[in-house]
Structure 1
Amino acid sequence: MIRLPDPSHPSYARVVRASARYDFVVTAGFATPWTYVLVHRALSSLGGTLGLGGLPALDPMQTLYANLMGSVVVVWALLRLFRPLPAHGLYDGAARVLFAMWQAYALAQGATRLLWLFLVVEVSFGVAQLLPWVRRGELRTSRA
């Protein structure tokens, strides 16, 4: 069994930073319309190659929402990289629960199965960042 660190332990900051690195690498390409075109093309190609399905055709609204999500996640990732506080892990874990729910909803609605790759990572980092708080019994009472 993997032993997850207490949120106050320095090793918890490594978990927070690892999730931030993943977010930065995965979402930086979503942050601008020009890079999103390249990411969209690469993800569609990967989905087709793996038999998981491609992405829908690009349109201005999809690009806008991808850019908004990418911009916010990049800023959030940079904060966690440079200031990996326990509270940042708690809030990131909560955000990952939300992201995972919406990804699962999209999968249930017929979205590309390529989302499974992202869903597994969301759930994994969510558990890694929230479980230490649950074990401490502070998830409900924390003022992090």
Structure 2
Amino acid sequence: MLSVKYRQLVRSSAIYDLVATAAFATPWTFHIVHQMLGQLSPLPAFEPLHVLFANLLGSIVIVWSLLRIWNPQPIFGLFDTAARTLFFIWQLYYLLVMNGASIVWFFAAFEFAFGLSQGYGYWLLHKVQSGAPTNCKVVRYFATAA
């Protein structure tokens, strides 16, 4: 039961990533998204090199998302947790140190929420599957429900 729910979480986070970043994968769609986001929060003008890096990042995230949608293995959730942690750290740095565009708070909230839930879910799944004795009520619940 827990394994199925965790795989659903990994797939859900991948679907969010696909929806949130697909438009960053091409110069044409990125231009549209940049204009739309710029109406919500002031954004700097992008030079061609910036667009290239946005497109590369968008392309990588699309491939990573499709892999997790197609095959949401728990280990992919763990690696995605690591990636989300890094994304969240750099988003906070951008927001707090560089006084970045406030629209990034929206994306940072999703990185934090999915990162925390996937990280905790992986730990929980590992504890339940190990069968080791524990005082954690949540682990004991899922161990007896399995």
Per the normalisation by structure 1, the TM-score is 0.83
In structure 1, what is the equivalent of residue 64 of structure 2? 76
Which residue of 30, 38, 57 corresponds with 2:32? 38
> Which letter does structure 1 place at the counterpart of 2:10?
V
Deviations 1:73-131 (A, max 9, x none): 00000000000000110100110000000000000111101110000000000011001
Shift of 1:45: 0.8
Deviations 1:4-27 (A, max 9, x none): x84xx1111110011001000010
Greater share of residues in helix: 2
In structure 2, what is the equivalent of residue 51 of structure 1? none
Shift of 1:59: 0.9
> Which letter does structure 1 place at the counterpart of 2:30?
Y
Would you say 1:113 and 2:107 are equivalent positions?
no
Pairs within 5 Å for 1:50-69? 54-69=42-57
Shift of 1:58: 1.9
**Percent identical:** 44
> Which letter does structure 2 place at the counterpart of 1:120?
A
Per the normalisation by structure 2, the TM-score is 0.82
Shift of 1:134: 3.3
Size of the alignment, in residue pairs?
A: 126
Secondary structure (helix, strand or coil) at the match of 1:84 reads coil
CA distance in 1, matches of 2:28, 2:8: 32
CA distance in 1, matches of 2:123, 2:72: 19
Would you say 1:21 and 2:15 are equivalent positions?
yes
> Which letter does structure 1 place at the counterpart of 2:34?
H
Would you say 1:128 and 2:121 are equivalent positions?
no
Q: Which runs of 5+ in 1 are unaligned?
A: 48-53, 139-144
CA distance in 1, matches of 2:14, 2:125: 23
Higher Rg of the two aligned structures? 2
Cα RMSD between the aligned structures? 1.4
In structure 1, what is the equivalent of residue 133 of structure 2? none
Shift of 1:135: 4.0
CA distance in 1, matches of 2:69, 2:122: 20
CA distance in 2, matches of 1:78, 1:106: 28
Shift of 1:136: 5.7
